[in-house]
Amino acid sequence: MAKLNTTLTEFGNGARALAELLKESPPLTAVDQLFIENHLHIVHLTYSAWKRRHGLSNQEDSLDQDVPVA
């Protein structure tokens, strides 16, 4: 469980740092945008696959609904 906790902590820290950076509206190159979009897509795909393996519905997925994210 330590590896999971470490990974989730690092993921959360990175996500918050990126969100704060994007709030500042920095100029992003096409490569920057592609990098961000590809990594978000990877996380979405792998998390959706994990949910299917564990019998969870995609209806519960906030990425598939109009649910505001804080």
pLDDT of residue 63: 56
Tokens of 67: 């649910």
What pLDDT was estimated at residue 57? 74
Question: What's the confidence (pLDDT) of residue 20?
Answer: 98
Q: What is the pTM of this model?
A: 0.74
- Rounded-to-integer distance, Cα 67 and Cα 30, Å: 28
What whole-number distance in Å separates Cα of residue 47 and Cα of residue 44? 5
Please give the average per-residue pLDDT across 16-32, as a whole number. 98
Contact 20, 12 (CB under 8 A): no
